[in-house]
């Protein structure tokens, strides 16, 4: 502080003065709400240990803005963009589905993504630290995020393990799933019955890859191949995140960009395949009547929600390594639209390939049924007069078969069903909706067996899946390790290795022969409901407890410009209402839908829905309860002062920002800020440019984002030492938005 400043002059005098907040911060007084003399119910006069704040907190930072953007893109763009979005698009009206998805992206996705980026960047802490600061009583938000990240990381890395197994199996010609295996019975060689009843790719997935059991109750022991693949997956993840963003940021340059190279290559190759245009036309043909169904909007909202990774804590963790003045609004819009266009690109690729596969399967259907008709003609079951004269069985087209099929069906109406002829309609093949593992490991792999140089395309496809999964896993692991590193000063390398080892041991549940059913269980129950509740509370804590207007002013101070006023209404009204409707619809669907899974029945060589046994059903609900349990526990514990609120662990950078702001005010009019005009007169807040409310009637109160705002007091009051004589003032509370 300059020697000629007014504070220095008063220190040299013998007059009784009241210290400013800037002085207290400069002297590094602890910022502890509970020990403040102005704390309601606090213990006044209690000696507080001094908080030592280093000059530099040593928090890592991104090497470049590009590295940070790629990290956010890698986290948000994942396997769901490839195998979930195309399925929803096909199921919910083709091109018509894009309309509700885009609308909900604008009113839910971008605002909430922006909110998470902003609070992480401002407070520079992981999910636990951020919500402890914003509202300590809702500090359980960060802990619930941590729990969900743990559950998701356990099974998500199993999918990467599956992709690794297929990746190494792809270095063969022909591909091992291109033909059914032959079983030798003495001198006879017969096709494997289970494979013949299903298909070569389906058999390879369920029998040779997973070797799955028929029920979830049958463990079947560990699958050695999948256990080794899972171990390799966790080693890769551990190496990628062991140095924090110093290592994961470099990995993101490749893992985030390589999938786009593969997708563009697949798109170009797919458009050159016969029937690809049929698939794309089928995808983009809008069924506008679908837009009136509530189910379509619910599924679109769910996809927007999970596509951006809201509530996981990874978004907050990544943004906490940014500079305080980074333009996070631009980042939110950019990453959201990159995610959306990636989904569109992946959908084009998927439907181009599925259109090619549908044509192959339709031609195969025509050939098989034409052979049946020839057999009926030779055995005089059918008359040659039923066959149109222009039909040539050696060069039978789909249109010729359709014409012949229609004639036979009309003439043999009574006995047509006994002939066992299929219509072989291309539209029926295109309407066979597949998603998730069924799309990646069955439908897509089957299509690639018909590609020229099929091993090359298979290697590229599964290497792309590995990179997509790795980008999401890096964000998930960062969402776990960053809050722990913020709370406990442990060595990040040791923490990362310990987390990966524990996760691998817990992940052995998913590499049993019945492990695929547990992956489905965790995917259905461990994330959906808890994450929606977490994001609702995030929205409410910022928009209603802290105050939307105060948050908007903080954003203006941080970004240097006013965010669009539409965010005020989106955060305060639109997003909370949409989220409440979404969670209500999810609970209703969960209540009316029988909980169960699709089990592979070996004898039938097909999937069949089975209900969960009682112990598995209890496990499903335990996943939900464990994930949301920190919310009420932390609220009750802090309401009754049974747990520290964490407010005395304020980030160094945030405290420095406060000191700088207050010092600037001091230079402008320090006397007005610190002392009243007369002894005993309450200090007045210096004039500053007010951020007007949407109505323009009322300026905002001069509060900044603070951990104690939930309690109705700000850092200025919390920082006042109990031993310092002060002029009585009323605490500054966050302004109400009501």
435 Cβ contact list (under 8 Å, min separation 6): 83, 84, 86, 87, 88
Distance CA 313, CA 324 (A): 18
- Using left for φ > 0, alpha for ψ between -120 and 50, and beta otherwise, residue 703 falls in beta
For the purposes of burial, counting CB atoms within 10 Å of the CB of 5, is it exposed (0-12), middle (13-18) or buried (19 or more)?
Answer: middle
**pLDDT tens digits, 704-729:** 454 444 543 333 333 333 444 443 33
For the whole model, what pTM was predicted?
0.77
Full DSSP string of 13-31: S-S-----HHHHHHTT---
Residue 524: name the closest of 312, 310, 306 by CA. 306
Check residue 685 and give its pLDDT: 38
Check residue 151 and give its pLDDT: 92
Distance CA 723, CA 297 (A): 58
List helix spans (H) across 105-203: 110-123, 127-134, 140-169, 193-197, 200-203
353 Cβ contact list (under 8 Å, min separation 6): 266, 270, 273, 276, 279, 444, 447, 448
In the block, residue with structure tokens 């389906």: 202
442 Cβ contact list (under 8 Å, min separation 6): 199, 201, 202, 205, 434
Check residue 114 and give its pLDDT: 94
Vertex 368, ends 363 and 373: CA angle to 5°? 120
For the purposes of burial, counting CB atoms within 10 Å of the CB of 291, is it exposed (0-12), middle (13-18) or buried (19 or more)?
Answer: middle
3-class state of residue 412 by DSSP: coil
Check residue 645 and give its pLDDT: 66
DSSP code of residue 607: E
Annotated binding site: 74, 77, 81, 339, 468, 472
- Using left for φ > 0, alpha for ψ between -120 and 50, and beta otherwise, residue 28 falls in left
Tokens of 373: 């008709």
Check residue 509 and give its pLDDT: 93
3-class state of residue 191 by DSSP: strand
- Report the C-alpha dihedral over residues 194, 432, 164, 202, rounded to 10 degrees: 0
| Binned average pLDDT, 10 residues per bin, the chain of 738 residues | 43 42 40 37 37 48 87 88 84 83 92 93 87 88 91 92 94 89 79 85 91 89 93 93 77 86 90 86 80 85 87 88 89 93 90 86 85 84 80 80 83 78 81 72 85 90 92 88 84 89 93 92 88 92 90 89 90 92 87 87 86 92 92 91 64 44 44 41 40 43 46 38 39 40
3-class state of residue 119 by DSSP: helix
453 Cβ contact list (under 8 Å, min separation 6): none
Annotated binding site for Na(+): 74, 77, 81, 339, 468, 472
Check residue 28 and give its pLDDT: 41
Cα–Cα distance list, 358 to 354, 372, 437, 700 (Å): 6, 21, 19, 61
Check residue 698 and give its pLDDT: 43
Tokens of 221: 């022991």
Distance CA 594, CA 612 (A): 9
């Amino acid at each position: 502080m300059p020697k000629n400043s007014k504070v220095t002059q008063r220190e040299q005098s013998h007059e009784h003065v009241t210290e400013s907040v800037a002085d207290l911060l400069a002297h590094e007084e602890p910022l502890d709400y509970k020990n403040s003399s102005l704390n309601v119910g606090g213990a006044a006069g209690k000696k507080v240990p001094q908080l030592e704040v280093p000059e530099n907190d040593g928090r890592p930072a991104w090497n470049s803005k590009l590295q940070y953007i790629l990290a956010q893109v890698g986290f948000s763009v994942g396997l769901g963009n490839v195998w979930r979005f195309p399925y929803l698009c096909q199921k919910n009206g083709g091109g018509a589905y894009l309309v509700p998805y885009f609308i909900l992206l604008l009113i839910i996705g971008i605002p909430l993504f922006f909110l998470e980026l902003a609070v992480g960047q401002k407070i520079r802490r992981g999910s636990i630290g951020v919500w402890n600061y914003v509202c300590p009583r809702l500090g359980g938000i960060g802990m619930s995020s941590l729990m969900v990240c743990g559950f998701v990381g356990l099974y998500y890395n199993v999918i990467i393990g599956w992709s690794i197994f297929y990746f190494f199996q792809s270095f063969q010609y022909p591909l091992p799933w291109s033909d059914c295996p032959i079983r030798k019975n003495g001198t006879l060689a017969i096709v494997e019955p289970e494979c013949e009843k299903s298909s070569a790719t389906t058999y390879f997935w369920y029998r040779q890859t997973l070797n799955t059991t028929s029920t979830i109750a049958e463990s079947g022991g560990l699958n050695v191949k999948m256990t080794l693949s899972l171990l390799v997956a966790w080693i890769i993840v551990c190496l990628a995140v062991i140095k924090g963003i110093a290592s994961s940021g470099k990995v993101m340059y490749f893992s985030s960009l390589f999938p786009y190279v593969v997708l563009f290559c697949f798109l170009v190759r797919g458009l050159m395949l016969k029937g690809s245009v049929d698939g794309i036309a089928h995808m983009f043909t809008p069924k506008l009547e679908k837009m009136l169904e509530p189910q379509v909007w619910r599924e679109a909202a769910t996809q927007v929600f999970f596509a951006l990774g809201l509530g996981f804590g990874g978004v907050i963790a990544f943004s906490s390594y940014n500079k305080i003045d980074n333009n996070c609004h631009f980042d939110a819009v950019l990453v959201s639209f990159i995610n959306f266009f990636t989904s569109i690109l992946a959908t084009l690729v998927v439907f181009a390939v599925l259109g090619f596969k549908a044509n192959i399967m339709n031609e195969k259907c025509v050939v098989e049924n034409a052979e049946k008709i020839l057999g009926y003609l030779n055995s005089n079951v059918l008359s040659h007069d039923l066959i149109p004269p222009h039909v040539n069985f050696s060069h039978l087209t789909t249109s010729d078969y359709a014409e012949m099929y229609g004639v036979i069906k009309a003439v043999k109406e009574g006995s047509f069903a006994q002939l066992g002829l299929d219509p072989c309609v291309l539209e029926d093949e295109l309407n066979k909706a597949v998603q998730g593992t069924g799309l990646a490991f069955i439908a897509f792999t089957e299509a690639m067996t018909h590609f020229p140089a099929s091993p090359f395309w298979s290697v590229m496809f599964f290497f792309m899946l590995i990179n997509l999964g790795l980008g999401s896993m890096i964000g998930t692991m960062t969402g776990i390790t960053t809050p722990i590193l913020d709370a406990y000063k442990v060595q990040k390398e040791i923490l990362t290795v310990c987390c990966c080892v524990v996760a691998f041991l817990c992940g052995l549940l998913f590499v049993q022969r019945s492990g695929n059913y547990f992956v489905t269980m965790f995917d259905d129950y461990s994330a959906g409901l808890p994450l929606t509740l977490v994001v609702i509370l995030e929205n409410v804590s910022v928009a209603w407890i802290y105050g939307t207007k105060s948050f908007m002013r903080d954003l203006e101070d941080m970004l240097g410009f006013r965010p669009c006023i539409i965010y005020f209404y989106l955060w305060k009204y639109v997003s909370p209402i949409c989220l409440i409707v979404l969670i209500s619809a999810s609970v209703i669907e969960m209540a009316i839908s029988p909980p169960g899974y699709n089990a592979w029945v070996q004898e039938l060589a097909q999937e069949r829905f089975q209900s969960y046994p009682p112990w598995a059903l209890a496990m499903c609900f335990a996943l939900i309860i464990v994930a949301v349990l920190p919310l009420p526990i932390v609220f009750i514990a802090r309401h009754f002062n049974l747990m520290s609120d964490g407010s005395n662990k304020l980030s160094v950078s945030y405290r420095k920002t406060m000191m700088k702001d207050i010092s600037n005010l001091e230079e402008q009019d320090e006397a007005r800020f610190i002392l009243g005009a007369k002894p005993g007169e309450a200090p007045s807040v210096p004039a500053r440019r007010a951020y007007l409310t949407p109505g323009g009637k009322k300026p905002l109160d001069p509060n900044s984002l603070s951990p104690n705002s939930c309690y109705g007091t700000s850092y200025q009051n919390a920082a006042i030492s109990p031993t310092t004589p002060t002029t009585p003032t009323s605490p500054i509370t966050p302004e109400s938005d009501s």
